[in-house]
Structure 1
Amino acid sequence: MKLFIDSTQKIFVAALLNDNNTIEYKVITETKYKVEEIINFFDKLSKLDSIEEIYINLGPGSFTGSRIALLYVRTLSQLNSNINIFTTNSYELLDKQNHSNAKSIFYINATKTKSYSLSKNKVEIIDKVFCESQINYEEILNNFSFYQSIFVLSSFKNIQPIYASNPQIGEVKK
């Protein structure tokens, strides 16, 4: 079984796929409460011990969403050392989906007033762009074999979410 998870965008997506890449169970929902959605998703999975591969988007996107999904993925891989983790990023998903070239630039939501500008080798936070790109998760899940090539096998110890700037955790530093 394969697990696909992406909580970097406004939409939380998680799906369990069988060896033929057929969807066994999925959740696609727009939410601010990604922690609750992740907990609910894993609570409903009866085949957790059959997961052999995990596919995760590392961002950029929601700070909390990126971190909590990665925490679950790392935990699963520590509980079952036979799980392989494959990672990608929002740019690669959009680029593959749009059949683009290496010069493409995509914009995704960062905050109410900012967007992420994504290119092949650069992520920036810019003033809001109102024609932001949307990842079509139904397309990805329904054609998962096509998208697998943009994921890279990664060690759970070395996986980090992608941020456009260093995250501020705790008190504001002076």
Structure 2
Amino acid sequence: MKTSIKTLFATGLIALATTTSAVYANTNNTSISASAVKISSVKKLVISGNVEVTISQDANAKALYANEGNENVLVTKLGGTIYVNSKNNAKITLYVDDIYRIEASENAIVKNESVLSLTYLQVFLKGNARAELNTTTEDLFTSIKNKSNLTLSGNTEKYKIEMDNSSRIALDQFKSKNTDATASDVYVSSRR
């Protein structure tokens, strides 16, 4: 009797675990409409593929993004993260309030319309990604890998950079009170 109760209990636990796993495994990220998201809830941008993203800091914007004529851009939201991807060349403008992280990979291009005024910002570039950012921050961290390219302008109190020898950075128009560089054979294309 004890054995059959233990077997029944174990079978029930296995069934529950399998059902729960199947539910979470089948959860998919659906694309979102431009006005379906509160801009203040977006904290992180993950951009990949062949898309050019222009970031506009506007806390009062009524929409999350404006597609510039190309319907090939997939925009999804998971938690506080917005994912932008396109296999074909495409352009999109994202409206944000107070983000803290930008990740770009593959052939993505990231720019901003006006100065991004943020307390903290982390920028991660890899692949052939390129970013041209004008920021005013208290603390800025950048990680650039592979053949990625970063052009910074603006200023920060504290700046930490990690990069490899195949990536490039331009700091002509950028000022930092305190800079910490971690790299292997750093190549700075320009520094004022």
TM-score relative to the length of structure 1: 0.28
Q: Which has the larger radius of gyration?
A: 2
Report the TM-score when normalising by structure 2: 0.26
Question: Which of the two has greater helix per residue?
Answer: 1
- The structure in which a higher percent of residues are strand is 2
